[in-house]
Structure formats: C-alpha cells, structure tokens
Structure 1
Amino acid sequence: MKGIHRLNHKDYIGVQENNLYYYEITGSERDAKSTESTKETFSDWSESPIDVGDYKVIPFGADNDIPKKIQESVFPNSLAPRLQNRKIELLFEQGPYLYQHVKDGRKYFREPVEESKIQEWLDSIGYEDILLANATDYYYQNQVFNKVRRELGYRLGDGGLGAIEHQPAFDCRLAYRRNDKKKAPTHVLVADWDNLQNEDVKVYPLYDRMEPTKHRLSMHWSKFASFGKRDYPVPDIYGSLEWIDRSTSIPKIFRALTENSLNIKWHIQSPAAYWDRKRSQLKENCQSQQPPIQYKEQMLVDLKEQILEKLSSLLSGVENVGKFWHNEYVIELIGANAVEQGWKIMPIEQKIEEYVTAQIKISEKADFATVAGLGLHAALGNVGADGKSDSGSEQLYALKIHQLTSVNIAEYHVCKSINDSLKAKFNTNIKIGFYHINPEREQDITQSQRIANNTPSNQ
C-alpha cells in the first residue's frame, strides 16, 4: 500500500515505510482568481462557457464536473448508494400504471384505466426501463433527459411522435449557439466530458411542448428548478457530499492502520487556495502549448499525488519538518477578518486508541448527516440509531409521510416526457404514474392479508 492513496477529492493518505500521513484539503476549491475560499458560488457557471463547435456549453459546475463529483463521492460510500436506490424503489413501488383524474364530490382521485393503443405504444418503447432510468437520474441530479423521435410518416400526414429513449443525464450539458445573445439553453450536447473530442459530440435541440413534432429528433429536459438558477438545478445530494466523503474516508484510514500496523505521525492540512492556484497554472500551461490542449481535472489530481508523495518521502526520515519543507503562508483579507491560508503540518501523538475513538465518533456523525442529507427517513433505509432497526410502527409512519410528501414531485419529473408525449400523440388526459398501496398496521387487516401469509412460500 506504499505511496499516495486518494480517499476522495479532498482527502489523501500517504504510506511511507511504517508511517501513515493524513492529508486534508481545507476550504472550498474554486477558481484561483477568487479571494474567498470558504464560500461557494453557483451563479457564475454560465459566465465561463465551453466552446464546442458552433455552440457555447454551459458547464455543470465551475469545472463542469458536478456529476463526476457526485459519482466519486457516492459510489464508494457504504450508505449513500443504498439510500439512493431505496428512494427509487419507494417511488417505483408497485410499478407504473395508466390513470385519469376523476372528481368525486369535492375530492379528486386517480382512477386506473386501460387503453390498448396507449399500452401498445408504451410497450414498444420499453417504458418501464425508461422510467426506472429516469428515476435514477432524478435522485442523483434533479433533472431528466429523454430523446424524443418523430415518426417517419409525419411529413405525409400519417403519425406524430414516435419513440422515446432515455439519455443518461451524466453525459448531458446545456448549450446555446455562439451568436445567441440571450445565452439561454436551446440545445443539449451529449459527450464524454472527461475526454472531450468535438467529433464525438451529439447535438440535440430542446423539445418544444408547443410544437412537439418540430424536430425529427429532440431532447426532452425536465428539472426540479433551483432558486435563482435558469439552467441546471443544484442536485439535492450536492450539499451532502462533504459528509459523504468523511463517512467514506474513515474506514479507509482504519484499513491502512489494521493491514499495515502503521503509526499515524503527521496530519497535513493544505489550503484549497493553494490547489486553485495550481489549477490556474495548469490551465495557463495548456493554453501556452502549440497547439493549445484542453485542461482536464485529472491533471490536477496527478499533480496533487506527485506533491504529496514527495512530502511523504521528506517526512518519513525527519523529526523537524521545517528543515525540509517550505511552509508558505498567505494572509487574505475577507471582509473584516484576516484569514491565514497555508500548509499546516501537525505531529500526532501516538495515542492510537484515542485517535480511533475520535474517528469513530466522527464517523457516526458523518453517517447520520449522510442519511439526513439524502432526504430519507432512517427507518425506511434500515439505518436506525446505533445500527439498530427501527420498530414496525416507526417504519409504517415514516412510509406514510414519505408517500404524502416525497413522491409526487419526483413522479412528475420522472414521468413528464412520457406524459407530454401521450398528450401530443393521443390527445388524451390519460397519464402514467406509479401505483402505491396505502400501508396499514398488521393488526388492522385480516389474517389472510398479513405479510406472513403473503410470502411466496405460502401462496
């Protein structure tokens, strides 16, 4: 395990001989020209568009990498992926069905309907797979992209909308034409944004609900809008990434301790502003090349590992770090406060038991914050306090509240492309949604309806 190992995008561990070094990047990483490292802004994404052919691409995040950040934070975590999947399962529940809104006195309710022509079309496009993929994108990015095709016979007056196809939101970016002064999204560009090659970019106009057959192929885009944002929504999960990263990193530190019998000697903190300057330098170097090359965030990741590995080597054989490492401090005036930004190399007393106990407490707090931040009651995620399962009554009421408050908006966006197409293609008020059963207490239903008597082995 010797060398530098990345825990997440802000934490690393270095292993040198029998020592372990914990590296932490403090503050928010952002563009180096900013003088504020503790505050992240969301309004300036569109101010630095990416040139791709005849289009200006609005970056999704300051470095066009929010989907990647979410992926890298969530996937290694022991809780987040399961909780995300659980929300999808609770939304999908009994599966999709067709319905109409019916008025009964002063109340509205959903009445299931059967319509053979609509059902045949839904079956032809694989609607269940589309809705399941849409739900995944919605809970990770708060937006959904679907390609909508016009039928071939439309120009002859025979037909309208044809197939719908799910397009992974991970690869989609909003864009507008170079000469468009409004700078509002009009197109969607699909590409591998980590390895961008202009010839591999697919361009789609945004779907127009008022003229659904205007384009032979268009991109339907539905989002849960964020306050003050006219392009991308800020995903709900984004604010929880710091806690998710902390929850993920601690087990990896323990693994290094147990597998290698290592001693944690140094805790090294580096300011985010330092790496912001390195990012700017790398971007300038890329532009100075002949011909210019495109900057990739992986370049900064590689540079971090080189610098931290060199520091690990220096620390492994010295007691007085100051003799070998130049610690550059920067004082920036933020408001009325002087903020010190510099590397801090702090020796850790060899009290492993106390250190482990402290890390466990941090881990418990991080796990709690992860569950809370993902917006799912712990009882529904089978994550109770201290790892204990919650009671059946608590799970029941948590499910009822979830169905009442956390399903409708998600269902609206997940099903919107199909419902818009049903309206345009069949001129109907029939919609598609997800069928949910109202949960009841076991003692309130007959014995034959109870869970114990409805398992596959008893049927």
Structure 2
Amino acid sequence: MQGFFIKFVRNRAPRVGNPGRLVRLEHIPYQKARLVYPPDGEDEPQEVLVGDFPYPDPAYTYRYPVFDPAHPFKYPVSVKYYNIYSFCKDFMSTPRFLGALDWLELAGGLAAILIAYNENASAISLHIESPQSYWDRAEARIKQVCERTGEKYTAQMLEDFKDEAMEKFASNITGRQNAGKYMHTTKFWNPEANNFEGWTVEPLDKKIKDYVDAQIKISNKADAAATSGFGLDPVLSNLIIENKLSSGSEKLYSLKVYNASETAIPDMILCKPLQQYINANFPGTATKVGLYRTIVEAEQNVSPSNRMKENA
C-alpha cells in the first residue's frame, strides 16, 4: 500500500516529572487506521483514528495525536503514518499496482475462461439441417393417427416427435462409440420448392486453437504487467513467458538492478520509525538501521568450493 501506521508508546515517568522514554512500537494494520483531515491553519493531519473500518463502532474507535519526532515524549501514545510519496497526493500514498489492477484481474482469469468454455461453448459442435417436408409429412401422419384413434391433435405432439427424432439422430453421430463411423444421406428434388431437399450435417469451425492461443497471450501479458505494477521484474517473479525460462545471467542482473534502484527508498521508509525510536531514547547515537541484503555474484566470480552446485 506504499505506507503503514506505527504506534509509539511512551513510559509513565513524565507523569511525576521524570524523563520520558519510548517503550515500544506497535504496527497498526493499514485498513484499521485513517488520517483525520487537518484543521484550519494546519497543512498536515494532526490526528489518526483507529477503528474497525470501513464500518467502525464509535465505542471502539480511538483518536491518537500524530507522533512528533522533534518532541517524541510529548504524548503518552501517538501514531504516525510512514509512506512513499505519490504524485499529486496530499497525505495518503497510492499503491503502485493501482494502474495494473485490471491486468491483475486478467492474470488469474485464464483458467476460469477455459473451464467455462469447455462447459458451454464446446457443447455445440454440429449444425444439422433438416428438410421441412420431412416434418410436414410427420405432422400429416400424426394427424392421421389421431383421426383413427379419436384423439385431438395438438401442436405439442409434433414438438415431442421432433425431440425424440433428433435425439435418435444425434445419438448416432456423437459420442466416443461412434468415432470413426460414417453416415450416408440422400437428397431428392422437390418440384414445389424447386430445390433439392435432404438432411445435412456440418461441423462447426469454432477455431478453438486460435481462441485458446489468444487467451494464453493475454494471460502472459497480464502476468508481466501485474509484476511490473509491483515494481518487480518478471524475471524475479519466476514467470515463464512464452515457454521461455529466464537464464541465470538475466536473473542475476535483474536482481542487481532491483537492489540498486528499488530498495534504497523503501529501506529508509521501513526503518524510519525504528530509527526515530533509537534517536529518541539515545540522543546523539551514531547507530543507523537498515535492511541487510546478500550481494549476489556471478558463479564465475565464486570459488569452486562455494558454488551453488557444490552446496546443493
């Protein structure tokens, strides 16, 4: 989220005139804290609300002053928001992945799309065209049977006959048991329609390969855009794009560039509350806090006994 809240807790000694000290730091989850808009005459927020947001209970919502590094023992309990500056944002930072949010949704959507496709789109594989004269003759036969039996003819009788006939027809051209078989149909000349009539079965070209390949390309692009939104090289995210596994040298130099360009400012922000804690309790100290990172070297610069393959 490009920022975090820290609570500073002071000892109780200043109540009786003794020197103050910071006794502990507490992390406040980002979703449970909100900055209070600054009052008139102030440019920065002066208070922080801590509660069960977004629907806080007033009985369990607490208001704390903002921690002042220049006067660290001024308040018994105070809170401060530490963040990396976001362009054109006054107080709160904007997550760097916000611009890639749509890509994040696409990155995990390929599996669901293919499942839905297999369940729905792939169900229709054949187009069966039947002659209308066939159904006209069937309707005439049904009416004749109704006249002989004294039963009243209804349109639903023809629909039921169509369903039964199509189920029998489809059962002979679909399914594993019919793989490799053939079907023979004939057409006849209908002088009334001035055209040939007969049954026609045509497979539907759904271009499955083109569709799946397009979705895979979109997913690969989404993966790369999502990791870039977090400021991380796709190589360091262990992504395999277009079936290409990144080489060791690519990972090595990507890691070096990341350590050289992406971690210095986060180091300062993450360690700042702890540094202020130390400076307040030990004025004039030369102690500086930072994150330790192992320097990765190329295998050719490592002695043979210390190389990765020897320690695997």
Tell me the TM-score normalized by structure 1. Answer: 0.46
* Mean CA deviation greater in 141-150 or 377-386: 377-386
Q: Does 1:445 align with 2:302?
A: yes
Aligned residues: 229
Q: Does 1:175 align with 2:36?
A: yes
Mark the runs of 5 or more structure 2 residues left unpaired by the alignment: 124-203
* Distance apart, 1:158 and its partner CA: 4.0
Q: Does 1:262 align with 2:120?
A: yes
Matches within 5 A, 1:41-120: none
Query: Could you tell me how far apart the structure 2 residues matched to 1:388 and 1:202 are?
Result: 53
Aligned to 2:192: none
**Residue 364 of structure 1, aligned match among 197, 220, 236:** 220
Query: Could you tell me how far apart the structure 2 residues matched to 1:438 and 1:148 are?
Result: 34
Moved segments of 4+, more than 4 Å: none
Identity fraction in percent: 33
Q: Does 1:430 align with 2:287?
A: yes
Higher Cα Rg, which structure: 2
Matches within 5 A, 1:24-43: none
Question: Secondary structure of the residue that 1:204 maps to in structure 2?
Answer: strand
Query: Could you tell me how far apart the structure 1 residues matched to 2:247 and 2:13 are?
Result: 58
Query: Could you tell me how far apart the structure 1 residues matched to 2:264 and 2:43 are?
Result: 32
Aligned to 1:351: 206
Q: 1:240 to 1:447 in 2, by over 3 A?
A: same
Query: 1:262 is aligned with what amino acid?
Result: N
Report if the CA contact (8 A) 2:220-2:241 is conserved. Answer: no
User: Comparing both structures, which one devotes a greater share of its residues to strand?
Assistant: 1
Report if the CA contact (8 A) 2:227-2:234 is conserved. Answer: yes
Q: Kindly provide the CA deviation profile for residues 254-295 of structure 1, in whole angstroms up to 9, marking residues without a partner as x.
A: 22333xx21399xxxxxxxxxxxxxxxxxxxxxxxxxxxxxx
Query: Could you tell me how far apart the structure 1 residues matched to 2:21 and 2:207 are?
Result: 69
Q: Does 1:243 align with 2:99?
A: no
Q: Kindly provide the CA deviation profile for residues 433-452 of structure 1, in whole angstroms up to 9, marking residues without a partner as x.
A: 11122211112121222223
Query: Could you tell me how far apart the structure 2 residues matched to 1:422 and 1:350 are?
Result: 71
RMSD: 2.4
Q: Kindly provide the CA deviation profile for residues 232-271 of structure 1, in whole angstroms up to 9, marking residues without a partner as x.
A: 111111111011112223322222333xx21399xxxxxx
Mark the runs of 5 or more structure 1 residues left unpaired by the alignment: 1-140, 266-348
Report if the CA contact (8 A) 1:226-1:234 is conserved. Answer: yes
Query: 1:150 is aligned with what amino acid?
Result: R
Query: Could you tell me how far apart the structure 1 residues matched to 2:257 and 2:75 are?
Result: 42
Query: Could you tell me how far apart the structure 2 residues matched to 1:170 and 1:389 are?
Result: 38
* Distance apart, 1:352 and its partner CA: 6.3
Aligned to 2:169: none
Aligned to 1:373: 229
Tell me the TM-score normalized by structure 2. Answer: 0.67
